[in-house]
């Protein structure tokens, strides 16, 4: 009986897929921790993952409406109040996430997943210490595009979410090619 397994991709495997199959674009083959001489929240290749950036182009604040309900089967886009304003100071560009707020952002990197690779996201410790949780739904084998990032502020404080800097780490899982990919299902 053939063994079936799924493995987490290492740095050299991620780099190979990014360079040969355009799995991540743009692709940075190291952990970038500085930009224009200033310390930033790191992004790029890690030992067993890849830290992606929050795009400055879109961040939608969700909620703020104390009436009604949110039905995931019949989502009302009116519950998304407004685009967050992109602010800037000596520390960089950022959005403000209100206390106990929630926003939808978009990744700066484009993904093009092979038929045998699925991605999940885990938080960055810098944001976790600030009470920020970042989530994405799994990007399944064959998925292509810019990930939607779900970002929650679990504190009673206003929190900065930096654009064009690392926001979450992607973990790539490789298994046997699936029988039906995301593209096959026309997801």
Catalytic residue chosen out of the listed positions 19, 140, 144, 150: 150
Quote the CA–CA distance of 99 and 131 in Å, as a whole number: 10
Tokens of 15: 């780099």
For residue 19, give the H/E element and its range. Answer: helix 11-21
Active site residue 85: no
Q: Is the separation of the CB atoms in 96 and 151 below 8 Å? A: no
Number of H helices, E strands in the chain: 2, 14
Q: Is the separation of the CB atoms in 47 and 10 below 8 Å? A: yes
* Catalytic positions: 150
């Amino acid at each position: 009986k053939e063994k079936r397994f799924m493995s987490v991709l290492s740095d050299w495997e991620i780099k190979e897929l990014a360079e040969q199959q355009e799995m991540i674009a743009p692709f940075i083959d190291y952990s970038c921790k500085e930009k224009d001489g200033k310390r930033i929240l790191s992004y790029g290749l890690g030992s067993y993952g890849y830290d992606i950036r929050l795009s400055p182009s879109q961040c939608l604040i969700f909620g703020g409406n104390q009436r009604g309900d949110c039905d995931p089967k019949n989502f009302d886009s009116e519950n998304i109040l407004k685009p967050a304003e992109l602010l800037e100071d000596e520390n960089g560009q950022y959005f403000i996430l209100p206390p106990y707020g929630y926003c939808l952002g978009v990744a700066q990197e484009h993904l093009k997943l092979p038929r045998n690779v699925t991605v999940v996201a885990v938080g960055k410790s810098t944001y976790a210490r600030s009470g920020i949780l970042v989530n994405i739904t799994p990007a399944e084998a064959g998925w292509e595009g810019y990930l939607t990032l779900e970002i929650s502020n679990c504190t009673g404080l206003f929190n900065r979410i930096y654009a064009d800097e690392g926001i979450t780490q992607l973990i790539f899982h490789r298994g046997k090619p699936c029988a039906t990919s995301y593209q096959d299902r026309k997801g």
